[in-house]
Amino acid sequence: MTTTTVDRTAEIKQKIESRQARIGIVGMGYVGLPLALLFSEARFRVTGFDIDSHKVDTLNRGGSYIVRIPGTEIDMARENGFVATADFAQIATMDVVIICVPTPLNAHHEPDLSYITGTVSSIAPRVHEGQLIILESTTYPGTTEEVVVPLLEQGNPNGLRLARDAVSPGFYVAFSPEREDPGNDTVARRDIPKVVGGCGPAACDLASAVYKGIFNRTIPVSSPAAAEMTKLLENIFRCVNIALVNELKQLCMRMDIDLIEVIDAAKTKPFGFHAFYPGPGLGGHCIPIDPFYLSWKAREFDFHTRFIELAGQINGGMPYFVVENIVEALSRQGKAIRGARILVLGMAYKRDIDDLRESPSLTIIELLQKRGADVAYNDPFFSKVGQGRKYALNMTSTPLEEIPNFDCVVIVTDHSQYDYASIVARAKLVVDTRNATRGIDADNIVRC
């Protein structure tokens, strides 16, 4: 007597490909919200989940809290059925659940998975047969299978287990790293290839089908761990190369060589070179954080990631280097740092975005304040900067008209809205950490 096997993924895959699958995205931040809008634009039925009631209310009114996403995009999504909610009971009605929550470091520079574990624990009681759970949050290799899957299995009251093939009952789990680049308008989101690693071929196939609905290309890999490592490699590559140019920047200043000129000359080579540029330190949710996730995990295998940790030390030291240059520049003008009035231009971690996460400006301001300086800031994207995980500034943006009243203006974030020639003309002293004043010839500029 023969037994017939049933492909349990066929129904959910058909729903995905016909745009009938309900997509739930947990975390309506810089990753989750753009992803939700992509799915909505592709005519999927999308629900955004977030524990922040302000975000939920804003989205349901058609508003936006991210500068690069206009309210008109939210309105279009709502017309396509997009809704936001803080009610996690609705997870039970979703066919696909995508987790896009933060993965910061704790005070000891170790991975803080509390957002992931908290989210998965909230999802677990609502997981149902055939449901696909995808983690997008950046993390160390092994998180999906060692943390997410056990929490889902232990927290499910119906005793559902992970299905590793298309014929076994249960739910499916995959990992697909986010590849958001805030402020980058040169590459359409749909054109960014999507890496997918599933807990088994069936999960990988389903997750690939989901993302094929909104991305032009998907890249399946052999496992969630391979996909998790892919994301870390991408960011560690950038971290290490930025550390290299940051170290060369300090050397070139001593040698009186213009490093930017050198980099621009080197990048004319049509092979074997990729240009990276120095700056006042690393910011954002990836590059300053992700390498330490791998360093932490490597200890489990009795492996010390010396190269990665050295890069982290160099990049982490750049705000201190900037402050020392400010102190020296003021001293040459006969002004002590204590009591000096300093205006920091730019609070965001990179140009033309409204994201403060890990911004070097925050560290630079706190270091200057500890030296006794009277510090203010200006940023067109932040009228106020209050309190966050690692800062408590409680400051308001100072108008640029006040520039002549400051002893020093420090360019930390080179927003395109700034008129740098006008800033230099009105300032007593300008310390430029971004090469924003290149081409302006003035005695009051110090580039570092």
Q: Where in the sequence numbering do the catalytic residues fall?
A: 286
Q: Which one-letter DSSP state was computed for residue 22?
A: E
Q: Which two tokens stand for residue 323?
A: 């402050």
d(CA 198, CA 186): 30
Q: Which two tokens stand for residue 297?
A: 């995990």
Asked if 295 and 309 count as a contact pair (C-beta separation under 8 A), the reply is yes
What six digits make up the tokens of 437?
A: 């004043």
Q: Tokens 């009971």: give the residue.
A: 89
279: CB partners within 8 A, 6+ apart: 242, 246, 318, 360, 433, 434
CA distances from 310 to 147, 295, 313 (A): 29, 11, 5
CA-CA distance, 23 to 97, in Å (whole number)?
6
Distance CA 319, CA 371 (A): 13
360-370 and 318-332 helices cross at what angle (nearest 10)?
A: 50
Of 146, 294, 144, 150, which is closest to residue 229 (Cα–Cα)? Answer: 294
CB 220 within 8 A of CB 208: yes
CB contact set of 431 (below 8 Å; sequence gap of 6+): 322, 325, 326, 329, 408, 409, 410, 411, 446, 447, 448
Q: What sign does the dihedral 74-75-77-78 (CA atoms) show?
A: positive
